[in-house]
Amino acid sequence: MAEQTRFGTAGVPPTFRMLKAKMYDVPSLLREEGLDAFEYQAVRWGSQPQITQQDAGKLGAEAKKHDVRLSMHGSYFINLAGKDDVISASKERLIAGAIAADWMGAYVIVFHTGFYGKLEKSNAFKSCLKALKEVNQTIKDMNLKVKLGPETMGRKFQVGSIDEIMIICQEIENTQLVVDWGHLHARDLGTFKKVDDIRVVAEKIESTLGSKMLQNMHCHFSKIEFSSQGERKHHLLDEPRYGPEFELLAKVIADFQMHPTIICETPILDIDALKMKKMLQQVLEGKTGVDP
């Protein structure tokens, strides 16, 4: 069967929480709804995994059984451009996530690279590359089967423009391109207004990293509110005040024959993930009013 675009949620949907679902129930519940990806949120972790190997294994087995692709969002407390002690703690946190990702069979650990702080942007970025090379070596030495997924970031003071993320993907082995489209929209203060605005980014990725990296990208999507500094808040797909519109990305996915994994980050997770899935189906079937 040809690869196809997968849709899933960033963490456990609110309705599952109300059902008091166990973590290992999540893959079957998502599958019942028609979804096939799940991003486990390890966002508050320190230097040790906060799930047991047994529980991680159980989640992984359920995901496999129901064909739900697992990814992990690593700790928010990572800054690979900070002072030495901050960088070494950040590396430990990233590796703790990678260990647990390997236990559960998550294919990528998504992370936020760092902050420019008082450094020159180029020096901050160099520091990130150096630290990531070291993390990648540790992942290799420990034989962990997980890719590093640097994410495009929504605030101007965060490392994570599309150009920086592409350089990381070129320079560091074993990386997975992670594009948060809402973040890019916010970082550049509302850049995605028509299909071509997204197509330009897709073309840049294709020419820099190749078709395979473009077609297999890992995405985050939500509508987003921003100020002059960039990202402020994630919003529902139904809120007309905010962008970007998912239809624009759907059109580009169809044009470039992409089959990304798309993780919904709006406040209603699964409901909006299903909405995106439906929109993409309509575009693929040619039933859409989106302007080319």
**Least distance from C-beta 68 to Zn ion, angstroms?**
20
**Nearest CB to Zn ion, comparing residues 5 and 222:** 222
Residue 237: C-alpha distances to residues 225, 244, 245, 270 (Å): 12, 9, 7, 12
**Nearest CB to Zn ion, comparing residues 13 and 182:** 182
The interface mask with Zn ion, positions 97-136, x = CB under 5 A, is ----------------------------------------
Q: Using CB under 5 A, which of the segments 28-36, 94-102, 151-159, 247-255 binds Zn ion?
A: 151-159
**Least distance from C-beta 196 to Zn ion, angstroms?**
26
**Nearest CB to Zn ion, comparing residues 152 and 215:** 152
**Nearest CB to Zn ion, comparing residues 33 and 151:** 151
10's tokens: 């960033």
When CB distances to Zn ion are compared, the closest residue is: 151
Q: Using CB under 5 A, which of the segments 85-93, 100-108, 146-154, 211-219 binds Zn ion?
A: 146-154
Q: Using CB under 5 A, which of the segments 149-157, 203-211, 229-237, 280-288 binds Zn ion?
A: 149-157
Q: Using CB under 5 A, which of the segments 1-9, 139-147, 150-158, 194-202 binds Zn ion?
A: 150-158
**Least distance from C-beta 150 to Zn ion, angstroms?**
10
**Nearest CB to Zn ion, comparing residues 251 and 260:** 260
CA 32, 33, 36, 38: dihedral to nearest 10 degrees?
A: -100
**Least distance from C-beta 73 to Zn ion, angstroms?**
6
Q: Using CB under 5 A, which of the segments 98-106, 147-155, 194-202, 227-235 binds Zn ion?
A: 147-155
Number of residues interacting with Zn ion: please give it, by CB under 5 A.
1
Site for Zn ion in 215-244 (CB under 5 A): none
**Nearest CB to Zn ion, comparing residues 71 and 127:** 71
Q: Report the 3 state secondary structure along the chain.
A: CCCCCEEEEECCCHHHHHCCCCHHHHHHHHHHHCCCEEEEECCCCCCCCCCCHHHHHHHHHHHHHCCCEEEEECCCCCCCCCCHHHHHHHHHHHHHHHHHHHHHCCCEEEECCEECCCCCHHHHHHHHHHHHHHHHHHHHHCCCCCEEEEECCCECCEECCHHHHHHHHHHCCCECCEEEHHHHHHHCCCCCCCHHHHHHHHHHHHHHHCHHHHHCCEEEECEEEEECCEEEEEECCCCCCCECCHHHHHHHHHHCCCCCEEEECCCCHHHHHHHHHHHHHHHHCCCCCCCC
**Nearest CB to Zn ion, comparing residues 263 and 283:** 263
Q: Residues interacting with Zn ion, by CB under 5 A?
A: 151
